[in-house]
Amino acid sequence: MLEYDFMVNALVASAIVAVVAGTVGYFLVMRGQTFAGHALSHVGFAGATGAILVGATPLWGLIAFTLAAGMLMGALGERLNGRDVAIGIVLSLSLGFGLLFLHYFTAFATQATALLFGNVFGVSRGIISTLLILGLLNLTALAVIVRPLLFATLQPELAEAKGISLRLVSMLFLAIVAIAVAECTQVVGVLLVFALMVGPAAAAQRLSQRIDIGVLLSALLALAEAWAGLTLAYYTDWPASFCITAISALVYFLTLISALTDRRATASGPQHTH
């Protein structure tokens, strides 16, 4: 498998994206903003197809649109609860614009499929370099804001009383999420971003209550799922995005079943009478 350049490129690209997605996704799940992350991926589709329409690189259109949308969502307030309808409408409208742009350039239908479902086996060395730079910038930015981010997430009222701007923290974090979403799209596509952004993070939070261990577990799970998915795709000829998504879902459901089993065992433990 490693004798082929396209497989090596795919493994390297997926490793970069998985580590970033697993790390950022952990905080996304913790803050209860997974739907916002999903909406960003759909907004990115409109940006990518718009970039194709004007002859630009789809990745940069994807980044520009998701970054702008992320900052706007963050400016709406600390939490997006109660705005599900508005986000859903923006999500649908973004897909609609993407299809409109493609209507004028039907020759790019193959690129549209790659945007929607990913094409990790088509990643070039140039894209890998771009993903690496974006990933390093993303993780650095997250490290800079992680303390106020945790404070604003776990104790928002106290954080605001201490002078921390919840809106600014939200804007900066969703900007980081936007870049991570753009990177994920290169591996699993717009429609399957949840596979790397949410699945590993949700599983990690069930495996450990400690934030530091949870973040590490989330990144490692995302990496393992991405590599396992690519290996399965290579030997079965199934779509790589499907394999990664299926493994991510399987891992999450296994952790969910394990947690439910432990809870029932604890509830039905020996009762002591006095």
- Residues 112-142: tens digit of each pLDDT: 667 777 788 888 888 899 999 999 999 999 9
Please report the domains of the chain, with CATH numbers, ordered by start residue: 5-190 (1.10.3470.10)
Residue 105's pLDDT band (boundaries 50, 70, 90)?
Answer: low
Q: Over 67-103, what HEC string results?
A: HHHHHHHHHCCCCCCCCHHHHHHHHHHHHHHHHHHHH
Q: Indicate the length of the chain as a whole number.
A: 274
Residue 162 sits at φ, ψ, to 5 deg, of -85, 0
Residue 102 has pLDDT above 80, yes or no: no
Mean pLDDT is highest, among 47-56, 93-102, 223-232, for 223-232
The pTM score is: 0.85
pLDDT tens-place string over residues 202-230? 999 999 989 999 999 999 999 999 999 99
- What average pLDDT does the structure give for the chain? 84
CA distances from 72 to 64, 68, 174 (A): 12, 6, 9
**Burial class for 121, CB neighbours closer than 10 Å (0-12, 13-18, 19+):** middle
Hey, what are 39's tokens? 């909406």
